[in-house]
Amino acid sequence: MSFPSLSKSAAQNRALIVSVESYSACAGLGKRSGVRWDTKRLHAALKRRGFQVTILNDPNALEIIEEFKAESEQSVHSCFVGVISSHGENGVVFGSDGRPVKLAHIYSQFGGPVMANKSKLFLVQACRGSELDNGVETDSVCVDSSEDDGIYECQSIPNQTVVAYATAPGYSAFMHPTGSVFLQTFCDLVEECEEWEITRLLTRLNRLIAFEFEARGKMLKGKKEMPCFVSRLTADFYPFTNTIRVLATELLQDTHTARKNSIT
């Protein structure tokens, strides 16, 4: 069996993984166990699909903004994947310094000429509120229409972009010492569903988590998580069709850590 090779001079598909595990003492935010497992798994899964992967560990708010801006100004072959894993609230995620970063600010940077005709996928592993999902089946969901930030966030998503969230607006996202159910399930599907169009893959992701995941423990037993995604695609998007042969040693050697600055 032969494997396709990528010329070093040619533009590759790229991925940026922003993982915040530890926060400064003044931030008042707890350590997020399991982040490292998610990061390692994402790196391996995306690398095997031909992506050049950059990992940003424990960046502050300004560093998150600057790194995504830098990525938005570099060409890619056909698509870009951005992953953000941190504490959050509806419309924002937090840097390791505890300062908020508006997701709308990140998305809007990818509407410029360099990325305008490229496909983009963002994954957000963060809480979007403090509510807990009891898993009750309903025909409709009531959303506070006065939440202007949420509307602006959706409007900021550029064309040819899909944003997948670990949970719905207003709800908490679960994190486990072995990794988040959202990102771990996503990696499962990237590895198993090579030829799938992205909205089909994300719909399967929603189903698997909605029906197969249930929190444990005295406080959270029986609570559920329901991911959701927003699509502004105007054409089918197949981000994970490129399979390359990568040895385990190469995966470790090729990891590019833009910044590793755990703050205690």
Distances (CA, A) of 163 to 15, 216, 261: 14, 28, 27
Of the residues 127, 187, 193, 256, only one is catalytic, namely: 127
Of the residues 43, 79, 87, 187, only one is catalytic, namely: 87
Distances (CA, A) of 145 to 104, 105, 164: 18, 21, 21
CB atoms within 10 A of CB 69: 14
**Upper half-sphere CA count for residue 203 (Cβ side, 13 Å):** 6
Active site residue 79: no
**Upper half-sphere CA count for residue 139 (Cβ side, 13 Å):** 0
Active site residue 228: no
Residues marked active site are found at: 87, 127
